[in-house]
Structure 1
Amino acid sequence: MTTESPSDYNDLETLPTAQLLAGMNQLDQTVPLAVQQALPQLEQLVEATVARLQAGGRLFYIGAGTSGRLGVVDASECPPTFGVPAGLVVGIIAGGDTAIRQAVEGAEDDAEQAWLDLQEHNISEKDVLVGIAASGRTPYVIGGLQAARAAGLATGCIVCNAGSAVAAAAEFPVEVVTGPEFVTGSTRLKAGTAQKLVLNMLTTATFVRLGRVKGNKMVDMQLSNEKLVARGERMLMDELGVSEAEAAALLRQHGSVRAALAARA
């Protein structure tokens, strides 16, 4: 596994802060290029996800440690960003919600638990399951994908090593080969960054395709704080050519940017 290969940097403890930061930054610049190589694979996963969600399915993530946390983060950001129901994108981490803040030792080694965790959400063949595992060998993720695929779900994955067991278990694997880390084996670094980029692209492209963005604006975003209300007002001002006061009144009246735009169409 290249993610476990020795770092190209050594004697880190002897380096001044400026050199530590420069080295990490230099490596980080390779991540988008690695993601670029995987875009054809990601396109297939997006198309499969769009089709399942259009047919009434949901998107699930499973992962352990950093990978699991990234899935939970992406899932939690979809409702406020795109105005979708909270249960449409679901992130599940090995060890349960406790593992979001504190490592649950051994949770990732249970190949049977992911499918049990998914059953709590009444998962079905209409849904999509994406396994996230930098190493590509996490038993929790492999077992979950194998069971899901056997049950007829669309399955994808995001891994950072080539030719992994996780990729073999998924119908639509996305392999972003990020190489050795700055600190040997610390996949929360480059691999974690790559996974976050791919997750951003997966859900953003999916919900653009599903009509949750108009032009380049989040017209379905939840107006849950003053910043977002102000953003919504600016959208209406730009789109409709109205004053700030008129935009505020429209937003109060209709409750969302999309509804306000539709009312003035």
Structure 2
Amino acid sequence: MTSTSNPRHLRAELESLTTEAFRPELSDIDQLATLDIARLMNGEDTSVPAAVAQRLPEIAAAIDAVADRMSHGGRLIYAGAGTAGRLGVLDASECPPTFNTDPSQVVGLIAGGREAMVTSIEGAEDSKKLARDDLDALALTSADTVVGISASGRTPYAIGAVEHARRQGALTIGLACNADSALAAAADHGIEIVVGPELITGSTRLKAGTAQKLVLNMLSTITMIRLGKTYGNLMVDVRASNDKLRARSRRIVALATGAADAEIEAALAQAGGEVKTAILILLADVDAPTATTLLSTANGHLRAALRAAED
């Protein structure tokens, strides 16, 4: 009988987790003034970046491995349940508008599917088979990376995703908030951000959720930097899909080139709105077809394309 079907076994397992620990010193929190509770909560949150900092070498190693896979056509796939799954879906959904990635390049899977983003799907997190089915539906390959996300580090859906991905030869990362977790042990790269017990016992959408968000920010953002999706700290692959982003595109070209507004508008028009191409047109003094060819040869890396244009 598994821990998920044996209530006493599951209770004992949860009681052993740092993220589930009860803090008796906070047992009267509901009687405090609102401002005092806010101060307590804010103080708790300040400890999260320090916990992440302790795992930066592991995070960096995982990012380098992800970037290598993605540079050869692989995908980044997040898999989690509940808050962890929602955070993965959120991070994935931000990549197309920020880095102009195809929606299929960074994917978020949540136990229970789309409906689970807003509604609890009973039992979905307890199924390793569901994780296997979700990955099989994506036609997982050995070029891909699967990141299992679970605050407890014991969620069957996240562990099942990592185990199945590893059997397929994919790169695997296990992101948890407890030490010695089954999830981290199952993955090629285990990242355990131990933030300690929550302000509200077991509510891992708090510090644990914040820690997971910080790490996911790093995984996707620094991977995209490594893939040439930025020029310095400028989002040169931004997709101008609305008025705000079109204005941001013009500003990015201005910051990168120092060109006058009329020159920027002309370059963007030649480049079909592609920021990276417009910057290369202005800085290398080339036409749009040449800029496009240079960028293609440089695998989208603007600095490399600029160096090639100078040769």
Q: Distance in 1 between matches of 2:74 and 2:259?
A: 39
Alignment match, 1:257 = 275
Would you say the 8 A contact 1:58–1:127 is kept in 2? yes
Q: Distance in 1 between matches of 2:257 and 2:145?
A: 38
Q: Note the C-alpha offset of 1:131.
A: 0.2
Q: Distance in 2 between matches of 1:126 and 1:46?
A: 15
Q: Deviations over 1:187-236 (max 9, x none)?
A: 00000000000000011110101111001100000001111111111122
Q: Distance in 2 between matches of 1:242 and 1:164?
A: 53
Q: Distance in 2 between matches of 1:201 and 1:47?
A: 11
Q: Distance in 2 between matches of 1:245 and 1:192?
A: 45
Q: Note the C-alpha offset of 1:239.
A: 2.4
- Aligned with residue 90 of structure 1, among 107, 112, 129: 107
Q: Deviations over 1:36-79 (max 9, x none)?
A: 01111111111110111112111101000000000000001111
Q: Distance in 2 between matches of 1:249 and 1:6?
A: 62
Provide the secondary structure at the position in 2 that maps to 1:112: helix
- Aligned with residue 66 of structure 1, among 46, 65, 83: 83
Please, what TM-score do these two structures have when normalized by structure 2? 0.83
Q: Distance in 2 between matches of 1:27 and 1:94?
A: 29
Alignment match, 2:147 = 130
1:207 aligns with 2:216: no
Q: Distance in 1 between matches of 2:213 and 2:261?
A: 36
Q: Distance in 2 between matches of 1:23 and 1:252?
A: 52
Amino acid at match of 1:5: A
Q: Distance in 1 between matches of 2:124 and 2:255?
A: 50
Q: Note the C-alpha offset of 1:252.
A: 3.3
1:82-231 aligned at under 5 Å gives the runs 82-231=99-248
Amino acid at match of 1:257: V
Would you say the 8 A contact 2:75–2:105 is kept in 1? yes
Q: Note the C-alpha offset of 1:237.
A: 1.9
Please, what TM-score do these two structures have when normalized by structure 1? 0.97
- Aligned with residue 2 of structure 1, among 10, 18, 34: 18
Would you say the 8 A contact 1:234–1:244 is kept in 2? no
Would you say the 8 A contact 2:140–2:168 is kept in 1? no
Provide the secondary structure at the position in 1 that maps to 2:252: helix
Would you say the 8 A contact 1:234–1:247 is kept in 2? no
Q: Distance in 2 between matches of 1:59 and 1:163?
A: 24
Q: Which runs of 5+ in 1 are unaligned?
A: none
Percent identical across equivalent pairs?
A: 51
Task: Detail structure 1 runs of 4+ shifted over 3 Å in the superposition.
Answer: none
Provide the secondary structure at the position in 2 that maps to 1:143: helix
Q: Distance in 2 between matches of 1:205 and 1:215?
A: 12
Would you say the 8 A contact 2:177–2:193 is kept in 1? yes
Q: Note the C-alpha offset of 1:251.
A: 2.2
Q: Mean Cα displacement is larger for which, 120-129 or 28-37?
A: 120-129
Q: Distance in 1 between matches of 2:259 and 2:60?
A: 39
Q: Note the C-alpha offset of 1:33.
A: 0.1
Provide the secondary structure at the position in 2 that maps to 1:158: strand
Alignment match, 2:301 = none
Q: Deviations over 1:99-138 (max 9, x none)?
A: 0011111100112110111111111111110000000000
Alignment match, 1:53 = 70
Alignment match, 1:246 = 263
Q: Mean Cα displacement is larger for which, 24-33 or 82-91?
A: 82-91
Q: Which runs of 5+ in 2 are unaligned?
A: 1-16, 285-311
Q: Note the C-alpha offset of 1:256.
A: 1.6
